[in-house]
Structure 1
Amino acid sequence: MNSRDDKDRAALPVAAAAREVLAPVAGGPSSALAGLSPGYFGLVMATGIISLAAHMMGLPWIAAALFYLNIGQYAVLWVLYVLRAARYPGRFFGDMIDHLRGPGYFTMVAGTCVLASQFIVLRDDLPAGFVLWLMGVALWLGLMYTVFLALTVKPSKPALDKGINGGWLLAVVATQSVAVSSALVAARIGQPYRLELNFLALSMWLWGGMLYIWMMSLIFYRYTFFRLLPGDLAPPYWINMGAMAISTLAGSLLILNAGDAPFLVSLMPFLKGFTVFYWATGTWWIPMLLLLGVWRYGMQRFPFEYDPLYWGAVFPLGMYAACTFEMSRALDLDFLAGLPQFFLAVAILAWAITFLGLLRAVARNLRSAG
């Protein structure tokens, strides 16, 4: 097979899903709505975590600007998703049982919980944060069992190398986002609910870690024992790192909450050990993912253009900055102080480039409709 054929075939596995988002631009808003990516709440996840990280590191104007922008993005996306479900129910619900697109719906859970965290941390607005937290828990329950039940019982299933990618780890991110928001609510609510919410946060943290082990085993097996083409290396593979980063953040918050929950005090060595374990695992992924990116875009000349899946690569960068900051605070690791600032700067740059790509895609769509 020659190099050109390789590149054509390389685009098929992931681009087949991406085309449903990008190709409808030529058909106007109706077609774009029909092909709206299930993972578009990754935009809310990425914007929200960078806002929170900026707040942690003393950049209130960036945090506030992204907070208000995120409220608007969240509202617009809900309108679009409801319209898509009403007008194109076959495609909306059909995506939930698709092995590559279905896990994208977990961004709805994570985006909702990240916005809840913004209200709690940036505005100290517990009522609004609590309502969004409840929505996140309800979405988690509905989507977790709907998606995985459907993928389990559907009669026709793809081979492992065509049916799994890093996007599956969005289920881990969704679970850990519930853990993070639960811990934040617990720190600001009275007893006895404080104890119960901390226990919920701990349970979700543990379940998310177990889910990562299951899924990462399959993804790593796919990595090393099946041929990997440039088109297979979709941006959600950065969730390999992002899932561990948000697990680190949740663990750090549990450590900080230990004074309000005696059972957390008894688990302190375990909490600290596994929090560092998660952080170290996420850190290991960063050079690997960068090298794979060089291979994909530099050596294989894979085209670099806007894709909503890129929000799944921006989010882990912001989350790594936030989790490293919180871990260094929870464990008194002052020598890590420079790392969060560096990754926050990288995350802001990546967010700006991706957001510019989004604006250009929307402008093209509007021109086509006109």
Structure 2
Amino acid sequence: MSILPGRGWWAGLPPAAGAAVMAAGIISVGLHMTGYEVVSLIALGVAGALWLVLAADFTARLLGDRGRFRAEADTPAALTAVAATTVVGTRLSLLGWQTTAVVLLAVAAAIWPGLLYNVVRHWRWRMPGAAFLGCVATQGLAVLAAVLAAACRQDWLAWAALAAFCLGLVLYVAALLRFDLREVVGGAGDHWVAGGALSISALAGSKLTASSVWTGSAHSTLRTVTLVVLALSLVWYVVLLTAELRHPRLRYDIRRWATVFPLGMTATACLSVAEPAGIAWLRPLGEFLLLSAVVAWLLTFAALVASHVTAHRATRRAARRPPGPGTMDR
């Protein structure tokens, strides 16, 4: 499905398109953390523009096409609406736009319970990587709440972030029990969320660890949990990358944006954990992984353009093809 401009192009976007916003948003955050502010703002502009388009489509379906809205709200990909909103909100908070970030947190928190409930009650066994989006959306709330707690000096937001962080870990375990491991070698792209969900959990943990709200044993526990979660996300990274190299999946699929997001999220988690955890080597690792994520982002966009051009040419050839025998009689 294309996400390039065209007549009515936005009307056919599936919920999975939200992963494109998540990918651009988290890469913007990572670039900001490494000092590439201009490129970071460009990525933020891409994420913001896509978010506005998808928000308009989400609202239009809610108000004008309730049947389609209900059908899509039951799928795990619907939770990209929450995750994308929190990622954009996090970057805007880092930019100093706290009021806008608070509004986005409120929007994400408002739609999160209903979507999560619909998705979880339709869970089944042997699910694709999209099953982990319940964890991703919940941890997205934790990250944005923790960032705003520090920026606005609101301790209650830190406690809310901690609650979301713990719930997100529970949702991860529940999704892992239902994840079809065959997706590792045959998934279309969203299988990477199995690792990306842990990366965003580690990012949330790093923001909580950096907070002055937690001291003593509470701080030590948060640091330990964050490091364990980050280590597990890096293990997933190695496993998934190895599977990709042994079983290449080069054809473009919209779910490939759900590959780029975990790549960027793992890089950003390493960058974020390095300072509060006191582990210096995580920063150069994060910088290297961020470069890989940016390359993957550009390659995925190029594949998107190529698939769009190929489909457009095929349509034009079909339109020019002369009618077959007997066509006029029908």
Output the TM-score relative to the length of structure 2: 0.87
Q: Quick one: which amino acid aligns to residue 131 of structure 2?
A: W
Determine whether 1:233 maps to 2:187: yes
In structure 1, give the amino acid aligned to 2:234.
T
1:348 and 2:294 equivalent?
yes
* Greater relative contact order, per chain length (Cα 8 Å cut-off, separation 6+): 1
Quote the Cα distance in structure 2 between the aligned partners of 1:207 and 1:347: 28
Q: Distance in 2 between matches of 1:253 and 1:202?
A: 10
Instruction: After the TM superposition, list the runs of 4 or more consecutive aligned residues in structure 1 that deviate by more than 6 angstroms.
Output: none
How many aligned positions are there?
315
TM-superposed deviation, 1:34? 6.0
Checking the alignment, whether the CA contact within 8 Å between 2:184 and 2:191 is kept in structure 1 is no
Aligned residue among 71, 92, 97 for 1:94: 71
**Contact 2:165–2:201 (8 Å) recurs in 1:** yes
Name 1:187's counterpart in structure 2: 150
| Residue 33 (structure 1) shift | 5.5
Given candidates 245, 248, 261, the residue that maps to 1:294 is: 245
User: Could you give the per-residue CA deviations for residues 84-134 of structure 1, whole angstroms, max 9, x where no partner exists?
Assistant: 55565433321333xxxx00011110100011011110x201101110111
Matching of residue 111 in structure 1 with residue 84 in structure 2? yes
- Structure 1 unaligned spans of 5+: 1-20, 153-157
Q: Which residue of 1 aligns with 2:96?
A: 124
The correspondence for 1:135, drawn from 89, 104, 107, is 107
Task: Report the equivalent of 1:155.
Answer: none
Q: Provide the C-alpha distance between the structure 1 equivalents of 2:170 and 2:116, rounded to a whole number of angstroms.
A: 15
Q: Hey, what's the Cα distance between the residues in 2 that align with 1:251 and 1:233?
A: 28
- How far apart in 2 are the matches of 1:312 and 1:41? 9
Matched, 1:267 2:218: yes
Equivalent position of 2:262 in the other structure: 316
Aligned equivalent of 1:50: 27
For 2:130, give the aligned amino acid: G
Q: Deviations over 1:35-93 (max 9, x none)?
A: 52211111110001001100101111111111122211111122233445556543332
Pick closer, same or farther for the CA change 1:365–1:78 going to 2, 3 Å: farther
The CA distance in 2 between the partners of 1:231 and 1:321, in whole Å, is: 23
8 Å contact kept, 1:249–1:327 = yes
CA 1:147/1:230 → structure 2, altered by over 3 Å: closer, same or farther?
Answer: closer
1:135-181: CA deviation from partner (whole Å, max 9, x where unpaired): 111121221123223x17xxxxx6x33xx011110110100000000
Report the identity percentage: 29
What is the RMSD of the two structures over their aligned residues, measured on CA atoms?
Answer: 2.6
1:52-91 pair list within 5 angstroms: 52-85=29-62, 88-91=65-68
